[in-house]
Structure 1
Amino acid sequence: MADFDEYMADEYDMDDLEDDMNAEFDGRDIDASDSEVEDFDQLVCVLLLFSQNLQLYVLCIFFLTHNGVFQNKAADTSAAQARNGKDIQGIPWDRLNITRKEYRKTRLEQYKNYENIPNSGEESAKKCMNTEKGSSFYEFRRNSRSVRSTILHFQLRNLVWATSKHDVYLLSNYSISHWSSLTGCRNEILNVKGHVAPSEKHPESLLEGFTETQVSTLAVKERLLVAGGFQGEIICKHLDRPGVSFCSRTTYTENAITNAVDIYRNSSGALHFMASNNDCGVRDFDMERYQLVQLVRYLWPVNHSSLSPDGKLVAVVGDDPDGLLVDASNGRTIGTLKGHLDYSFASAWHPNGVTFATGNQDKTCRIWDTRKLSESVAVLKGNLGAVRSIRFTSDGRYVAMAEPADFVHIYDIKAGYKKEQEIDFFGEISGISFSPDTESLFIGVWDRTYGSLLEYGRTRDYTYLDSLL
């Protein structure tokens, strides 16, 4: 992997735009600290829970608004405001010395896509399919500025996970939080800045735990939260139990970062998770017995691995242009995925268990069919950078791919990936997640000024109701 600090210093944050905004926002609490935001969220939640007297509730809201406590909330953008012309991120383009169109052009020209293999993005563009843009599969619902999603490694972007159309988990600095779009409240689930130790005793768990864990990846499913760290840490917390259940260090080698985690149930119904590490290993942990049950090593660092819906196959990608399709039971290679021109950092399976996708630093997402691995089914192109996160909807209708910044693309699978919705904003992307019922799409945006959580809702055609009116 690349030198993180050097790349972050050169490429991240919208510095030019922020310079123009300094005067505009001077004296306003636009960039409140995380502690201030957390105090605000807790205060609102207390009001919602305990102010059963409507008159008292209204008086409290009036008092807090009058004293400026709600300034962060005022910076949010609703669907109604967006329809009336407000920028979804609240950027005041009419008061800046550059238009949105001009700034978009500048970003496309100047954004530096990180490549391990030179010119991979330029070469791969020649093989990409043409798509028809302009579709609206998901419509803007809200931009929540009080939820600050962050990243700690520029190549790893799996830090946002939705568990329902209203509930999402994400990383904000050293805090893993739950956000409810219904109440607008954020609750801290796990703080890894201090000492984190398991409250349960299991044979392979490190009872001493960890201190100041730098979270590199996150997964939340089946009421289980698993966080991976820069030093190979694994922290497991059941959301319906107090404390942390399990802590493990996958390896003690120098470059041991946990790059990705995939939670699943095996054929017997036992809860497992699979960890992909930079030491070239893929590890399978059984959360019923809290044990490592399988370790398979490959020839290169594994950046991402994902299990097929039937639990029989694993897509494995990493620091090599070629990916692998392997047997989940023993890790043996079934087929090699040839076509990408750089290193891959994302993979995902269609619910049918036949189709899967891989995302690469050559700015493409490739769609594969397990029945014919000699070439990819489709090659989908990004605008400015690597494809670092991929998600399919649970009904198999859409697939979304996220670039490192500014763009999330949604494709209609039923239309052969030829119809596309392009979600366009400004800021680094910490992760994307469809809700299990496909009704919501959440996008984490990391930026010093405009860090937030974007929420989109699935567009539904209810014209059949008109015939009843």
Structure 2
Amino acid sequence: MDHFHNNDLEYVDDPFEDDDFFGGEEEPQFKNDTEEGLDSDFEDDFEWNKSKTDTSALEARNGKDIQGIPWERLNFTRDKYRETRLKQYKNYESLPRSRQDLHKDCLQVEKGDTFYNFQFNTRLVKSTIVHFQLRNLLWAMSKHDVYLMQNYSVMHWSSLLRRGNEVLNVAKPIVPTLKRPGLLSQSLSRVQISTMAVKENLMVAGGFQGELICKHLNQPGVTFCTKLTADDNAITNAVDIYRSPYGSMRITAANNDAQVRIFDTETFGCLNRFSFDWSVNNTSVSPDGKVLAVLGDSAECLLADANSGKVTGTLKGHVDYSFASAWHPDGHILATGNQDTTCRLWDIRNLSESLAVLKGNMGAIRALKFTSDGRFLAMAEPADFVHIFDTESGYVNCQEIDLFGEIAGISFSPDTEALFVGVADRTYGSLLEFNRKRCNQYLDAICF
């Protein structure tokens, strides 16, 4: 992963000051390792109260922009802005190569379906991003409980109560509560969180200087925290929580030092570490806990034994570095997201070629999530677009969510009923909620 020095997170709250707001992921434009936003051309000097900042489904049906952008007060229409944005957005590339052949391989997708309806948007909580390539900063524990990063705080948003509260402040010194002989735990302070995961009442976060923080949501304080490495280029790029084949809960931490570390969640001891030839940007473990997908600063993606780290397969097809992956619940299909603007689907029973190739509109594929029932795959670009594919159609039927702003993360609720999208933007940063379209809870298939 491309490394940037980022010594002042306070810039994250106001990262979009360049007049050329149609910029994209190009590295030199970023003061604080975030991708460029759009709000320098929007009015941001209003006194917004809650009734104005929030947008309900009813208001959206009556014509209000779901993000609350006052297009009628601007000098350009939404369509004109979208047209210009698509033409001028600059996608970041680590390995510049021709993409003409890639586009020939992509599925011809039918857009226009609606699988998830807009439900609510709030600007009372706003996602922030500390590195422009890392976008796993939002997680839903239920259709009413969402966790996201906002500056130095991990925030909880209740979509039921429409209220947010701080769960963890990482600007202050963090002293771990778990203490035992031999535990490599240490106090931390002023952590810049680069990635996070929340599952089964456990929140795990990775830091810009190689930190790892583990907190039980039902307990006060932080249970365990440490620095994984003292290397200068030591961003914790991705964390994941999974269950081993024996049922024990474990944590993976992927780091820019080209290592993946496995931790036990009972003792927080490091069970194993696997070394690779390049920085590891993302890992995910198959539903049975046996196969580890390893993606990073290589055009190839690897499959490894989750217990030993031994490489068992190589996925070839992407032409740039990869930053996202997700497993279908059946354990056979793996989705990988790449800076070449594509997502590839692989059947791990036949690795000779990818099963299908899905293409974004303008940028790298930075986040991927399957619903727990396997029916849908959500694919997020760095900014502006989230695509929802119907897996039962062979991924050719798609809903496209069109918004403006950098996407900090996407997450389906575990029951598949809600999809949340975190938008990072100085003025229009927000949390978007979509609810699954249902005609009859017992005859779900009729709706589609």
Query: Quick check: TM above 0.5?
Result: yes
Answer yes or no: is the 8 Å Cα contact 1:202–1:290 preserved in 2. no
Change (3 A) 1:462 1:171: same
Choose from 347, 350, 353 the match for 1:372.
Answer: 350
Choose from 240, 258, 264 the match for 2:236.
Answer: 258
Q: Which residue of 1 aligns with 2:426?
A: 448
How far apart, CA to CA, are the structure 2 residues paired with 1:310 and 1:82? 41
Choose from 373, 384, 407 the match for 1:429.
Answer: 407
How far apart, CA to CA, are the structure 1 residues paired with 2:321 and 2:284? 16
User: What letter corresponds to residue 367 of structure 1 in structure 2?
Assistant: L
How far apart, CA to CA, are the structure 1 residues paired with 2:182 and 2:248? 18
How far apart, CA to CA, are the structure 2 residues paired with 1:244 and 1:122? 49
Q: Which residue of 1 aligns with 2:280?
A: 302
Do structure 1's residue 115 and structure 2's residue 93 form an aligned pair? yes
User: What letter corresponds to residue 47 of structure 2 in structure 1?
Assistant: D
Displacement after TM superposition at 1:125 (Å):
2.1
Change (3 A) 1:203 1:339: farther
Residue deviations 1:260-317 (CA, integer Å, cap 9, x gap)? 1110122232221111111111110001121000100011000001000001111110
User: What letter corresponds to residue 427 of structure 1 in structure 2?
Assistant: G
Residue deviations 1:139-162 (CA, integer Å, cap 9, x gap)? 100111111111110000000000
**1:320 alignment partner, SS class:** coil
Choose from 299, 302, 305 the match for 1:321.
Answer: 299
**2:312 alignment partner, SS class:** strand
Answer yes or no: is the 8 Å Cα contact 1:174–1:215 preserved in 2. yes
Choose from 103, 125, 135 the match for 1:147.
Answer: 125
How far apart, CA to CA, are the structure 1 residues paired with 2:380 and 2:99? 15
TM-score (normalizing by structure 2): 0.90
The structure with more helix, counted as a fraction of residues = 1
**1:139 alignment partner, SS class:** strand
How far apart, CA to CA, are the structure 1 residues paired with 2:199 and 2:284? 14
Answer yes or no: is the 8 Å Cα contact 1:11–1:112 preserved in 2. no
Change (3 A) 1:268 1:255: same
Do structure 1's residue 77 and structure 2's residue 55 form an aligned pair? yes
How far apart, CA to CA, are the structure 2 residues paired with 1:84 and 1:332? 56
How far apart, CA to CA, are the structure 2 residues paired with 1:161 and 1:121? 32
How far apart, CA to CA, are the structure 2 residues paired with 1:204 and 1:136? 53
How far apart, CA to CA, are the structure 1 residues paired with 2:258 and 2:186? 26
Residue deviations 1:379-431 (CA, integer Å, cap 9, x gap)? 00000100000000000000001000000000000000000000000000000
Residue deviations 1:230-277 (CA, integer Å, cap 9, x gap)? 111001100111111101211111111111111012223222111111
Choose from 2, 5, 8 the match for 2:30.
Answer: 8
Change (3 A) 1:227 1:120: farther
Larger Rg: 1
Displacement after TM superposition at 1:218 (Å):
0.4
**2:30 alignment partner, SS class:** helix
Answer yes or no: is the 8 Å Cα contact 2:39–2:428 preserved in 1. no
Q: Which residue of 2 aligns with 1:90?
A: 68
User: What letter corresponds to residue 41 of structure 2 in structure 1?
Assistant: L
How far apart, CA to CA, are the structure 2 residues paired with 1:191 and 1:141? 29
Answer yes or no: is the 8 Å Cα contact 1:13–1:447 preserved in 2. yes
How far apart, CA to CA, are the structure 2 residues paired with 1:337 and 1:212? 38
Residue deviations 1:337-387 (CA, integer Å, cap 9, x gap)? 000010000011000011110000000000000111110111000001000
How far apart, CA to CA, are the structure 2 residues paired with 1:463 and 1:241? 35
Q: Which residue of 2 aligns with 1:397?
A: 375
Answer yes or no: is the 8 Å Cα contact 1:389–1:432 preserved in 2. yes
Displacement after TM superposition at 1:208 (Å):
4.1
How far apart, CA to CA, are the structure 1 residues paired with 2:333 and 2:61? 37
Change (3 A) 1:191 1:231: same
**1:315 alignment partner, SS class:** strand
How far apart, CA to CA, are the structure 2 residues paired with 1:320 and 1:344? 7
Displacement after TM superposition at 1:221 (Å):
0.4
Displacement after TM superposition at 1:203 (Å):
3.9
Q: Which residue of 2 aligns with 1:61?
A: none
Change (3 A) 1:153 1:121: farther
How far apart, CA to CA, are the structure 2 residues paired with 1:253 and 1:234? 14
Do structure 1's residue 29 and structure 2's residue 11 form an aligned pair? no
How far apart, CA to CA, are the structure 1 residues paired with 2:100 and 2:199? 37
Answer yes or no: is the 8 Å Cα contact 1:156–1:388 preserved in 2. yes
Choose from 6, 17, 31 the match for 2:41.
Answer: 17
How far apart, CA to CA, are the structure 2 residues paired with 1:116 and 1:142? 36
User: What letter corresponds to residue 2 of structure 1 in structure 2?
Assistant: D
How far apart, CA to CA, are the structure 1 residues paired with 2:185 and 2:152? 21
Q: How many percent of aligned residue pairs carry the same amino acid?
A: 59
User: What letter corresponds to residue 316 of structure 1 in structure 2?
Assistant: V
How far apart, CA to CA, are the structure 2 residues paired with 1:125 and 1:230? 34
Displacement after TM superposition at 1:121 (Å):
4.7
Choose from 266, 270, 274 the match for 2:248.
Answer: 270
Change (3 A) 1:104 1:437: same
Q: Which residue of 2 aligns with 1:332?
A: 310
Q: Which residue of 2 aligns with 1:211?
A: 189
User: What letter corresponds to residue 278 of structure 1 in structure 2?
Assistant: N
TM-score (normalizing by structure 1): 0.87
**Structure 2 unmatched runs, 5+:** 7-27, 444-448
How far apart, CA to CA, are the structure 2 residues paired with 1:339 and 1:208? 41
Answer yes or no: is the 8 Å Cα contact 1:124–1:363 preserved in 2. no
Residue deviations 1:46-91 (CA, integer Å, cap 9, x gap)? xxxxxxxxxxxxxxxxxxxxxxxxx134321100010111110111
RMSD: 1.7
Residue deviations 1:122-174 (CA, integer Å, cap 9, x gap)? 55223211100001010100111111111110000000000001100000000
Q: Count residues with an aligned counterpart.
A: 419
**Structure 1 unmatched runs, 5+:** 31-70
How far apart, CA to CA, are the structure 2 residues paired with 1:121 and 1:213? 38
